[in-house]
Amino acid sequence: MNPTDLNDPEYFHRVIDCQFACPAHTPVPEYIRLIAEKKYAEAYMINWESNVFPGILGRVCDRPCEPACRRGRVEDKAVAICRLKRVCADNKGDVTHLLPGPSREKNGKRIALIGGGPASLTVARDLLPLGYSVDLYDDQIEAGGFVRSQVPSFRLPKKVLDEEVNIILNMGVVTHLNTYISSMKAFLTKGYDAVFVGTGAPRGRDLDLPGRQDAKAFVHIGIEWLAGVQYGHTQKTGKTTLVIGGGNTAMDCCRTARRLGGDNVKIIIRGARENMKASPWEIEDAIREDIPILEHLSPGEFVMAGDRLKGVTFQRMQGGKTDPETVFIPCDEVLLAVGQQNAFPWIEKDSGLTFDDKGRPRVDETTFQSDLDHVFFGGDAAFGPKNVITAVAHGHEAALSIDLFCNGKDLKKRPGPLTLLAGQKMGPRDWMYHSQVSDEVRQKVPMVSKVKSIKDRLMEVELGFNPKIGFKEALRCLNCDIQTVFTVDECIECDACVDVCPTTCINFIKNADEGDLRSRLLVPAKNNSQPLYVSDLLPTGRVMVKDEDLCLHCGLCAERCPTAAWDMQKYNYNPAKAGQK
């Protein structure tokens, strides 16, 4: 293998598993260390810069970082990254003085945002400080998009949502709420310099089965029903409610139903439980609220008794095949959570945009530009329903594109990330970070009692970590951003680092191609998603090869190295943002 090129900004980025997995590349270990130091406001601001909604995401994020977390490979449970984010949001105090105010000088460019969800709000947040005028259009009465209309308050209190949405609105957004945009062509005549479409994926799939029309008063599309509950239009559900579907929307439907008088709520899925789309923790929460999951059932017919719903028939599925046996499940109400789609009835065919067979506009995956060069898409509207953090990441990239576009620059020539490698040594065996690896197991989140929380759909179920538990959990972080940096000329090949490394990462062996090297290491390197760090040739004709996969970033190699050939250096990685030169 060729020696590792540390000038490649992605090399060490890959080693920071959580940050790499986070769509917005939040510097996770950096803010976790600040939490351990009780610097909650600073930790909050690092989050706010990257992911815009720390308080919201600290509760409802899909957390792609956690399955990626190194700790989950070293022991069984990842660091509770998401819960720690909430710790800094809950304890930050007043941060107004740290937030950017409205820009004093306008640059004369006008930007329109259609849709008021996280994607649009991120674009606004990134462009306002640069002097842009930003108009936001949304058909709801308040901004926030699906996070407001869909995500139940027992998971995300309105107060937290309002606070973080208002931070952005107060930066100078001109809102046009309660305003449905019904024609793209007409809208484009308003003459905005750029238009960002962040209208989400607002259409829930229906099930066109026998009896659907007759049962229409008792069968609801999940996302419409959830919005009705959030806005207070729907206040009750049937005693026995069936939720059909196995994704996160289904989990929100069933838990909401439990709080609206559904004493007997069941989830029905076509496949097996282990293949459910919903996040494991959401499934856990549903089960905790006494909601059973019935597997391998495919819905057949809605059966009425007079003008009331009697129940639903299902076909049992076994090994992908339908069993002739029919199962009848009596119920009073049904919620359908079987998928969500994009829909752009308001964009005319001849508006200049092209659509694929899924009805989605053609959008460039890095620039988020559409076929109309001043129209950009992002969030669920661009590539189908995902989650808040992905919408935020799209928002950042789209804002960067819009800024390049408005300055007449090439959108493909995007500025690179800002990176910095900084030494951490304070003295012998003394680092600027807490290098000791904690043996603590993942901390449990305290929750409100079930009896209490089922009675009130507005009561937040999770209480969050208090600062003490948060501190314990924060110390579990392995500081994967503190990198081991090797200087080949200093090494005397004494083996001290090889011997001390607790997880057998370091090897001195004859060079070869990657596959061969991986198989010949002291412990073969099987995780191909983590790189091998390879040095130049050493005096004995060997090379140093470090498998980054299970490095604990404990710093012992650097402490035991007599010549400081190993050093621990903090790697900062910040993706380019709008306005960056």
Ligand X SMILES: Cc1cc2nc3c(=O)[nH]c(=O)nc-3n(C[C@H](O)[C@H](O)[C@H](O)COP(=O)(O)OP(=O)(O)OC[C@H]3O[C@@H](n4cnc5c(N)ncnc54)[C@H](O)[C@@H]3O)c2cc1C
Q: How far is CA 254 from CA 43, 245, 336, 339, in A?
A: 34, 10, 10, 15
Least distance (Å) between residue 369 CB and ligand X? 17
Looking at the DSSP bridge assignments, the partners of residue 314 are 299, 327
Token reading at 504: 């057998």
- How is the beta sheet containing 566-574 ordered, strand by strand? 418-423, 566-574, 482-486
Q: Does residue 80 touch ligand SF4 according to CB under 6 A?
A: no
Least distance (Å) between residue 243 CB and ligand X? 12
Binding site partner of 223, from another protein, ligand X, ligand SF4, none, Cβ cut-off 5-8 A by kind? ligand X
Q: Does residue 478 touch ligand SF4 according to CB under 6 A?
A: yes
Of the listed pieces 6-14, 195-203, 234-242, 492-500, which binds ligand SF4 according to CB under 6 A?
492-500
Q: Does residue 114 touch ligand X according to CB under 6 A?
A: yes
User: Which run of H or E residues covers position 32?
Assistant: helix 28-36
Binding residues with ligand SF4: total (CB under 6 A): 41
Measured from the CB atom, the residue of 369 and 479 that comes closer to ligand SF4 is: 479
SS3 track for 48-109: HHHHCCHHHHHHHCCCCHHHHCCHHHHCCCCCCHHHHHHHHHHHCCCCHHHCCCCCCCCCCC
Query: Which phi-psi region, left, alpha or beta, contains residue 392 (left: φ > 0; alpha: ψ -120 to 50)?
Result: alpha
Q: Kindly tell me which residue out of 206, 284, 440, 499 binds another protein, with binding defined by CB under 8 A.
A: 499
- Are the C-beta atoms of 31 and 46 separated by less than 8 Å? yes
Token reading at 532: 């091998």
Least distance (Å) between residue 494 CB and ligand SF4? 4
Q: Does residue 539 touch another protein according to CB under 8 A?
A: yes
Binding residues with ligand X: total (CB under 6 A): 40
- Are the C-beta atoms of 260 and 342 separated by less than 8 Å? no
Cα–Cα dist 181/404, whole Å = 26
Binding site partner of 79, from another protein, ligand X, ligand SF4, none, Cβ cut-off 5-8 A by kind? ligand SF4
Cα–Cα dist 22/410, whole Å = 27
Binding site partner of 347, from ligand X, ligand SF4, another protein, none, Cβ cut-off 5-8 A by kind? none
Measured from the CB atom, the residue of 356 and 516 that comes closer to another protein is: 516
Measured from the CB atom, the residue of 336 and 474 that comes closer to another protein is: 474
- Are the C-beta atoms of 220 and 336 separated by less than 8 Å? yes
Q: Does residue 563 touch ligand SF4 according to CB under 6 A?
A: yes
Least distance (Å) between residue 349 CB and ligand X? 16
In the chain, what is the straight-line distance between the N-terminal and C-terminal CA atoms, in Å? Answer: 34
Binding site partner of 80, from ligand SF4, ligand X, another protein, none, Cβ cut-off 5-8 A by kind? none
| Of residues 437-496, those binding another protein (CB under 8 A) | 437, 439, 492-496
Measured from the CB atom, the residue of 34 and 554 that comes closer to ligand SF4 is: 554
- Which residues lie near ligand X (CB under 6 A)? 60-62, 114-120, 137-140, 145-147, 150-151, 180-181, 198-200, 202, 223, 226, 248-249, 252, 346, 379-381, 385-389, 391
